[in-house]
């Protein structure tokens, strides 16, 4: 009996290994691949979307831009070429949700700092106040890594159009001028093709956890 088991030991081990491989492949085949939706203007609250694109159902992408960052450097879409990035809108003198959003963005920066294909992008909705020196001071106060996270200022019309026609994250302020904005707490996940792949409440930790998970799903989709 002992000789029998000794004789077929190698065969049994090979069969066991093959069985494990087959089960793994079978499980992988049955397991649905995780993907993220591609969002269009029609998927958003109309209050956040410029009237000119409210009925757009496909092919929506983030428009080209040219704005100054905290170091006075001109930042364009070229700086985000082949990058996944997380965008938001804020202002440095905001006393309510912005400090929470900035802390959460700083936490995301820490979690993602080793991932060179993921960047952060924050736009000021009060560019007349948030000059380059003010943004630089704000960046230093909040531990911004220049190579990872740009804080942008520039012509208010340009920022307004990005917010309303590209990122779909601010409401019009009817009490002010034509480009006055009421920004939301939303963080926007953008893929390497400039498409919106998710929105998240930038004041909630649970949404930041969901955002990090979605970033990983998106990154893995480019490894296939």
pLDDT higher than threshold 70 for residue 172: yes
Whether residue 23 is found in the same domain as residue 128: no
Whether residue 73 is found in the same domain as residue 165: yes
pLDDT higher than threshold 90 for residue 7: no
**Is residue 70 in some structural domain?**
yes
Q: Are 163 and 47 in contact (CB under 8 A)?
A: no
pLDDT band at 5 (very low <50, low <70, confident <90, very high): very low
**CA angle (95 as vertex; 94, 100 as ends), nearest 5:** 90
Whether residue 87 is found in the same domain as residue 193: yes
Is this structure's pTM higher than 0.75? Answer: yes
Whether residue 50 is found in the same domain as residue 13: no
Whether residue 73 is found in the same domain as residue 129: yes
Whether residue 90 is found in the same domain as residue 199: yes
**Is residue 125 in some structural domain?**
yes
pLDDT band at 179 (very low <50, low <70, confident <90, very high): confident
**Is residue 213 in some structural domain?**
yes
pLDDT band at 171 (very low <50, low <70, confident <90, very high): confident
**Is residue 36 in some structural domain?**
no
- In angstroms, the CA 172 to CA 175 distance is 9
33 phi and psi, to 5 degrees? -75, 135
Whether residue 23 is found in the same domain as residue 76: no
Whether residue 91 is found in the same domain as residue 14: no
**Is residue 216 in some structural domain?**
yes
- In angstroms, the CA 192 to CA 117 distance is 9
Whether residue 66 is found in the same domain as residue 6: no
Output the domain CATH number for residue 49. Answer: 3.40.30.10
Q: Are strands 149-152 and 118-124 parallel, antiparallel or unpaired?
A: parallel
Whether residue 51 is found in the same domain as residue 14: no
Q: What is the pLDDT of residue 180?
A: 76
**CA angle (102 as vertex; 88, 125 as ends), nearest 5:** 45
Residue 94 known to bind ligand: yes
Domain that holds residue 66: 41-221
Whether residue 26 is found in the same domain as residue 45: no
Q: What is the pLDDT of residue 34?
A: 82
pLDDT band at 224 (very low <50, low <70, confident <90, very high): low
Q: What is the pLDDT of residue 31?
A: 46
Whether residue 12 is found in the same domain as residue 61: no
Q: What is the pLDDT of residue 27?
A: 43
Question: pLDDT digits over 78-127, tens only?
Answer: 999 999 999 999 999 999 999 999 999 999 999 999 999 999 999 999 99
Question: pLDDT digits over 31-67, tens only?
Answer: 456 899 999 999 999 999 999 999 999 999 999 999 9
Q: H or E element: which one contains 41?
A: none
Tally of domains within the chain: 2
- Token pair, residue 16, equals 């066991």
pLDDT band at 4 (very low <50, low <70, confident <90, very high): very low
**Is residue 66 in some structural domain?**
yes
Q: What is the pLDDT of residue 28?
A: 42
Q: At what angle do helices 205-221 and 97-112 cross, to 10 degrees?
A: 40
Question: pLDDT digits over 186-207, tens only?
Answer: 999 999 999 999 999 999 999 9
Residue 183 known to bind ligand: yes
Residue 60 known to bind ligand: no
- Looking at residue 188, the DSSP 8-state letter turns out to be E
């Amino acid at each position: 009996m002992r000789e029998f088991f000794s004789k077929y030991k190698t065969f049994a081990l090979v069969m066991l290994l093959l069985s494990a491989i087959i089960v793994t492949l079978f499980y992988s085949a049955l397991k649905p691949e995780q993907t993220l939706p591609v969002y269009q203007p029609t998927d958003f609250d109309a209050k956040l979307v410029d009237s000119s694109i409210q009925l757009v159902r496909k092919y929506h992408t983030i428009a080209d831009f040219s704005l100054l960052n905290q170091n006075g450097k001109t930042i364009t879409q070229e700086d985000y070429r082949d990058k996944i990035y997380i965008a938001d809108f804020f202002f440095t003198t905001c006393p309510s949700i912005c400090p929470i959003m900035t802390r959460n963005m700083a936490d995301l920066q820490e979690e993602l700092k080793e991932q060179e294909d993921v960047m952060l992008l924050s736009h000021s909705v009060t560019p007349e106040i948030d000059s380059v020196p003010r943004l630089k001071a704000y960046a230093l106060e909040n531990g911004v890594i220049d190579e990872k996270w740009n804080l942008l200022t520039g012509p208010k019309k340009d920022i307004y159009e990005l917010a309303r026609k590209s990122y779909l994250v601010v409401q019009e302020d009817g009490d002010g001028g034509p480009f006055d904005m009421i920004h939301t707490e939303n963080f926007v996940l953008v893929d390497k093709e400039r498409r919106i792949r998710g929105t998240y409440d930038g004041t909630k930790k649970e949404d930041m956890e969901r955002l990090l998970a979605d970033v990983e799903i998106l990154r893995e989709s480019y490894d296939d």
